[in-house]
Structure 1
Amino acid sequence: MILVFKKLFDKELLAWYFITLKLKETIEANLCKPQAKPIARPIPLGLYKSNPLLKPALTPQPLPPPPLDSPWIISILEKLEQGRQYEASSPWETQSIYRVPKSLRDVDQTAYTPKILSLGPYHLGRRRFRSMDRHKWRSLYHALDRTKHDIRHYLDAARFLEDRARSCYEAPISISSDAFVESLVLDSIFTLELFRCDTRKGFLDLRYSPKDPIFGDCNIILSLKSDMIMLENQLPLFVLDRFLALQLGDKYSGSALVVQLALRFFDDLGFNNEHLPSDPNYNAGSSEALHCLDVIHHSLVPRRKSDRKSASCPRRSSLYQLLARAVNFALTWPCSGDFGLPKPPVEKIGIRLIRCVAELREAGIKFRRNRKSDRFWDIKFKDGVLYIPRLIIDGGTKSRFLNLIAFEQCHLECGNQITSYFSFMDDLIDSEVDVGYLHDKGIIDHGLGSNGAVADMFNRLCREVVIDPNDCYLSELSEQVNRYYNKKWNTWRASLTHTYLSNPWAIISLIAAVVLLLLTAAQTFYAVYGYYKPN
């Protein structure tokens, strides 16, 4: 047995010996062959760091830097110089008339595009506005003939204000200097003529014919007003102020007359600005307002002088806040999280501020019209009652408020109260049932034909709008409503009220059921009592 095992063991050793010998001959034969020079391929730095078996000799050698006169380096230096010039010019510091962002325009193409009147350079020269351009030239001639002024005085004033006016527009203005100055004079004089013709006295003073196709037609004037409050259809207010001073005298320069004319002109569009004249802290001067849309925004959400002076920096939109907090998190990341330090706060974009009307009613929350305030955004919550001022909605409401929301999204200093209000109302209104209930309570008064159209309007107003709930003036009120909603007792009480106390017959049925239950309980008691104590 031992001899057999020994022979087998020797055979295995012999086999391994021959295999090793054959492998050695093969390797030596390959080494003796001439080898082609290997192509040097750079090894990724990440692969070298993750694989410690790679030898340092195999690491890629750094490539020599490209020469300074190479086309690539020259193009990069040119782009850096353009960035330096753009940073030095700081055009965003003076911008106030913006192009509507594409994300907002895609929601409603018609809400931001003027229909019959073009003001400013954004829509200048389009064919659809040529018929109104003829009336602009007619009004300019009428104004010069009435005042006996030379057109060169207005051209010189516009030339002096050209650079300042160009800086108010967001997109680069490619039209020539002469065309820009001409459009400033033509559009500004036409706007001032409309402002001053809005009253009967002004109409008589300007001596227009009662049958004038523009100044004598109320329907055309109403359509012009809708176009004049669009974000892309604005003129700088200081230009209007300068031309009005040329017409009336230098004593009116820098006054609030242009603002008052604009407020009176747009008064019948449904914007409530009756509180402005009685507000002593509100500066309605043209030095504060930027353009007509900003004047309307002031009238809806007045900003006080003390607030502007005390603000060390303009309010940033939630997108800028997100970027700033992301950078802050990246800089402080090694010192946060696991080390016990607080993490940067997270934005709550896309979260509903509040539940819809139908759900809030199930929790016992009531809705009442706030008759103590005429400002539609002045919402209060007290003792389970949500007080909301009346809002009047017509066919042009959607376009007006969409432009105001777009202005708040683009301009960093005007706040976000209108956007916050409509975001709040968008959360409240999910269907035509919610609109019908608010209409019955006198909160929403509309003439759109159906409650579904109103619900669709609210659901579209804040689509593609970026808003931070923490930066919303209704966030604290929403938290109070949500706390009230989350209390189970309020839900149970509301369910009892809706089920058994909603109408007189239900109340009578409930009383009858309670009396029957008491009588049954008494009968059962006396039956059991008589069984144990028959006497």
Structure 2
Amino acid sequence: MELFIRPNTNEINQVEIENETGTSDPVVVSINRILQQPDSSYFLEGIIYKVPEPLRSMNSEAYTPTAISIGPLHSGRKDLKANSLKPIYLRHFLNLAQLSVNTIVETVQTLEQRARYCYTEFIEMSRDEFVELLVFDACFVVMHLTSWQYPNLDTPNAVNLWQSWNEISHDLMLLENQLPFFLLQSLYDLFAPSQPLLEHQSFIQIVQYYFSEHKNPKLFFIDIKPLSVDDVKHFVDLVRMPNTRMYSHEKSDQRLLWPLNATELHECGVIFRSGDGIEFNDQGGCLQLPPIKIYDDFEKRVRNLIAYEQCHIGNELRNRVSNFAVFMQCLVQSDQDVKLLIEGGIIENYLGGINEITQLFNNLGKHIFIGINYYNSDCKKMKDYCMRRHHRWMTSLRRNYFSTPWLCASSIAAILLLALTLIQTILAVFTGFKERS
């Protein structure tokens, strides 16, 4: 991580440093200036990251906004048409809250330096430019999310202003398209008191409602206890917080174990069922997985959650989604694997062809570092289950002789015929033996 000189350092500071050190060497002056910065500047506060190149190389579009830029990392792009909504929503924000521009600007100015420290990339903006960007972007986000839950708060004819609201919801989940949560909370606190609808509604509840409406609630989100503002860094961080049922397993210090693919597990007698979390029942040979709805934004969302986990260190809940991605990559190796998971009610395909889903999961776990496998105990149970030969024999028997009603009827008839033949043979032998006696 690189350290940079703060953009608001002026010539007076440089003269002061020169006087203190007795030198005008630009390198010495630069180093001394850096050493005078607060220790927490980038190392402790950086929470909004540029996606690492190895992850970006797998699918750069998954990390790039298509409708709107939020924050400084993608600002200034002329092709993002929804950026034109920001002045409209700021005006609406001010009118509803009965606030002046001056009030908003003063609030953001007090948070500007802290917000700047939240980005691990150097922000090449002056203080005034950065404050202006934060005002427009933060007010837009607060208005967009509150009006999603309470349409009466939306600006008139909002639908006519922008048709693709789904694109905006996708962009708000991109790691590089984030604002610090404390900034959004501060502006919500200015806005909410003027709105009776929001009297008993916290901003965290607004955000949770917004993202719970956008697919896959059981996969990463919703089963969350009330949080304090200090617990949340930004939207990606909030959505990544684990469903407690989804991740109920303890960390394992054993060698990392991963599952066989779905076809191989099926051949060993494993059946697949949808449920609230990942769990293997070795008594009935049932692997339970959360239902996964594969929409067009699924890969975007998961990849950005993974990128955040891979960048953000020192967190006990690190790599939860990354674990899930590698688990699914092992489970899905072919189109047949996808078909088995669809039949088990685990994968719901809203994307297109089965091969697209196969390719998605094949690439999802690449370039990911995993230190702990939260599913190690279940993977070990599956391995032990598959090592037992009688499970393969029973599976082969069911598949070859009892997989359809006709095969079942034929097999039963053959067994009865064999039994009758055996009985007839025994009776014939017994009768012959009795006659000789």
The bucket for the TM-score relative to the shorter chain is 0.7 to 0.9
Is residue 204–residue 229 contact of structure 2 (8 Å, CA) maintained in 1? yes
Is residue 154–residue 185 contact of structure 1 (8 Å, CA) maintained in 2? yes
Say whether residues 1:227 and 2:137 are aligned partners: no
Equivalent residue number for residue 432 of structure 2: 530
Is residue 295–residue 349 contact of structure 2 (8 Å, CA) maintained in 1? yes
Change (3 A) 1:480 1:194: same
Offset at residue 522 of structure 1 (A)? 5.1
Equivalent residue number for residue 406 of structure 1: 307
Q: Which runs of 5+ in 2 are unaligned?
A: 1-24
Change (3 A) 1:238 1:302: farther
Equivalent residue number for residue 150 of structure 1: 100
By relative contact order (CA 8 Å, sep 6+), the higher-ranking structure is 2
Is residue 402–residue 461 contact of structure 1 (8 Å, CA) maintained in 2? yes
Say whether residues 1:511 and 2:416 are aligned partners: no
Change (3 A) 1:501 1:250: same
Q: Normalising by structure 1, what TM-score?
A: 0.67
Offset at residue 477 of structure 1 (A)? 0.5
Offset at residue 276 of structure 1 (A)? 8.4
Say whether residues 1:365 and 2:234 are aligned partners: no
Offset at residue 163 of structure 1 (A)? 1.3
Q: Which amino acid aligns with 2:235?
A: C
- For 1:178, what is the secondary structure of its paired residue? helix
Q: Which amino acid aligns with 2:73?
A: Y
Equivalent residue number for residue 294 of structure 1: 237
Equivalent residue number for residue 210 of structure 1: 157
Is residue 145–residue 210 contact of structure 2 (8 Å, CA) maintained in 1? yes
Change (3 A) 1:248 1:229: same
| 1:296-315 → structure 2 map (5 Å cutoff) | 296-298=239-241, 300=243
Say whether residues 1:458 and 2:361 are aligned partners: yes
Q: In 1, Cα distance between the equivalents of 2:97 and 2:44?
A: 37
- For 1:122, what is the secondary structure of its paired residue? coil
* Larger Rg, first or second structure (1 or 2): 1
Offset at residue 225 of structure 1 (A)? 0.6
Q: In 1, Cα distance between the equivalents of 2:246 and 2:122?
A: 30
Change (3 A) 1:147 1:512: closer
Equivalent residue number for residue 337 of structure 2: 434
Per-residue CA distance 1:437-475 (angstroms, 9 max, x = gap): 22122121111222211111111221211113xx12211
Equivalent residue number for residue 118 of structure 1: 69
Change (3 A) 1:409 1:85: farther
Change (3 A) 1:533 1:452: same
Q: Normalising by structure 2, what TM-score?
A: 0.81
Q: In 1, Cα distance between the equivalents of 2:353 and 2:429?
A: 61
- For 1:392, what is the secondary structure of its paired residue? strand
Is residue 219–residue 291 contact of structure 2 (8 Å, CA) maintained in 1? no
Identity of aligned residues (%): 27
Q: In 1, Cα distance between the equivalents of 2:100 and 2:245?
A: 39
Change (3 A) 1:276 1:400: closer
Change (3 A) 1:151 1:228: same
Among 173, 181, 185, which residue is 1:237 paired with?
Answer: 181
Equivalent residue number for residue 214 of structure 2: 269
Per-residue CA distance 1:193-247 (angstroms, 9 max, x = gap): 1012113xx33345x2236533xx5x42211111011000000010011112222
> How many equivalent pairs are there?
404
Equivalent residue number for residue 473 of structure 1: 374
Offset at residue 486 of structure 1 (A)? 0.8
Change (3 A) 1:441 1:385: same
Q: Which runs of 5+ in 1 are unaligned?
A: 1-73, 305-314, 316-344
- For 2:273, what is the secondary structure of its paired residue? strand
RMSD over aligned CA atoms reads 3.6
- For 2:293, what is the secondary structure of its paired residue? strand
Say whether residues 1:423 and 2:423 are aligned partners: no
Q: In 2, Cα distance between the equivalents of 1:276 and 1:402?
A: 15
Per-residue CA distance 1:491-515 (angstroms, 9 max, x = gap): 1121122112212332333334334
| 1:308-347 → structure 2 map (5 Å cutoff) | none
